[in-house]
Amino acid sequence: MNIQTIMVVGAGQMGSGIAQVSAQAGFRVILSDVKQEFVDRGLANIAKNLSRNVEKGRMTEEEKAEVLSRLTLSTDLADGKDADCVIEAVTENMGIKTEIFKKLDEVCPPHAVLASNTSSLPITEIAAVTTRPEKVIGMHFMNPVPVMKLVEIIRGLQTADEVYQLTEDLSKQMGKVPVSVNDFPGFVSNRVLMPMINEAIYCVYEGVATPEAIDEVMKLGMNHPMGPLTLADFIGLDTCLYIMEVLYEGFGDSKYRPCPLLRKYVKAGWLGKKSGRGFYVYN
């Protein structure tokens, strides 16, 4: 199958990044969200990123204009009727995702592949609400999408081999490095990363050290570019908590129990960088 048009559902940070790399790879892209202001903001983010590339000499003004010309904005999932592939990048909530996949299954052409950028939810469960589970797959991009090379590709129980191959090829066309991962809670990235972040939060909770000290140990001692608590603030503490809950419920293992301090911060609205306060204060 020849993919020419990609629809990206969700115009937030992840969705706009996926739309950008898709358009840069030469695909026609439909960027969709529930409100016009969301898609406008997504397009503005893409334009800003491309302008930065022009300033740094990575692309010309002509190339930037060409990339932007491949983008169409949409507030209606029915526009998926023209898509060869859809990549869903909405909030990490199974109810919302399954509703979207039901609708996409109805409106997209029979050949269209339906992919989810979920960071932890089971692809098999998402696929089960469609009449084409063999064409449903996970494409977990990393944040920020235009910079990070990795894409975890997750097969559901019924994902067809040719759909996996198509998705792997698509990732490479976007300049990414695809890695095959089986459909388990948290996949690999978040199954390894989130318990580390959760353990760092326990170290704060138990008074082992300050957030600054913990981050410094991991940066200087383990050569991490960013400490786990700074990273948690960037990801969003609500997202960290949600993924820990997915791991805890999915495996039923106490090692995935979210730290009470993480729950407390989320209840207080201290969600990290996006709310101005998490383990650190952001002005």
Q: What's the total number of domains in the chain? A: 2
Catalytic, 152? Answer yes
11 is in an annotated binding site: yes
Structure tokens at 83: 């898509």
| Cα 91 to Cα 239: distance, rounded to the nearest angstrom | 9
pTM across the whole model:
0.92
Whether 243 and 92 have beta carbons less than 8 Å apart is answered as yes
Query: Which of helix, strand or coil describes residue 37?
Result: helix
Q: Domain residues for 57? A: 5-182
Which of residues 131, 155, 182 is at a domain's end?
182
Which of residues 115, 147, 182 is at a domain's end?
182
Q: How far is CA 10 from the centre of its chain?
A: 10
Whether residues 83 and 223 fall in one domain: no
Give the per-residue pLDDT at 1: 77
Catalytic, 275? Answer no
The model's confidence at residue 176, banded by pLDDT at 50, 70 and 90, is very high
Catalytic entry in 22, 119, 171, 198: 119
Any domain includes 279: no
Whether residues 80 and 167 fall in one domain: yes
Which of residues 158, 182, 206 is at a domain's end?
182
Total residue length of the chain: 283
Average pLDDT over all residues of the chain: 97
Q: What would the mean pLDDT of 150-161 be, rounded to a whole number? A: 97
- Packing angle of the helix pair 61-69, 13-24 (nearest 10 deg): 110
Whether residues 147 and 22 fall in one domain: yes
CA angle at 116 for the pair 115 and 120, rounded to the nearest 5°:
145
| Cα 43 to Cα 19: distance, rounded to the nearest angstrom | 9
Give the per-residue pLDDT at 283: 85
Give the per-residue pLDDT at 65: 97
Q: What would the mean pLDDT of 153-179 be, rounded to a whole number? A: 97
Contacts of 237 (CB under 8 A, 6+ apart): 262, 265, 266, 270, 271, 272, 278
Residue 188 has pLDDT above 90, yes or no: yes
Whether residues 165 and 195 fall in one domain: no
Q: What would the mean pLDDT of 192-213 be, rounded to a whole number? A: 98
Query: Which of helix, strand or coil describes residue 6?
Result: strand
33 is in an annotated binding site: yes
